[in-house]
Structure 1
Amino acid sequence: MKSWQIVRLVAGTFILLSLALGVPGSPLFLSPWWLAFTAFVGLNLLQSAITHWCLMESILRKLGVPGGC
């Protein structure tokens, strides 16, 4: 997998998990504060789209994960 694919996989997983933990109707509900994590991930995705820089992708590339399209 390329670094951009891992970033999107992790972001999607974090969003779905935090929604499952933060939405009161979910069987995994813990606290509505988990929705703040959903917002944090969303803001990071917006920031990376605007600035063309993502910290996680930079870290993955330093760990040797290939970049590219």
Structure 2
Amino acid sequence: MNIDRAIFLLAGTLVVLSALLTLLVSQWWVLLAAFVGLNLAQSSLTGFCPAAVLLRRFGVASGCALR
């Protein structure tokens, strides 16, 4: 698995988790989904993704989009 796929997996998991927690616990969990969306938009505009930096430190191979 490369960083690009790991980012998609992480973002998708966090959005689904946020949706479930919003339905089951509190409406404030929708802020997690908003944060993930804003982070994805920011990384697409700047090319910098904090999650990619962390995943790289854990030894995940580089992909073609996030280096």
Q: Give the secondary-structure state (helix, strand or coil) at the position aligned to 2:32.
A: helix
Task: Give aligned pairs, total.
Answer: 64
Q: Distance in 1 between matches of 2:16 and 2:62?
A: 25
Q: Structure 1 stretches of 5 or more lacking a match?
A: 24-28
Q: Which has the larger radius of gyration?
A: 1
Normalising by structure 1, we get a TM-score of 0.85
Task: Determine what percentage of the aligned residue pairs are the same residue.
Answer: 44
Asked which structure has the greater RCO (Cα within 8 Å, sep 6+), the reply is: 2
TM-score relative to the length of structure 2: 0.87
**Structure 2 unaligned spans of 5+:** none
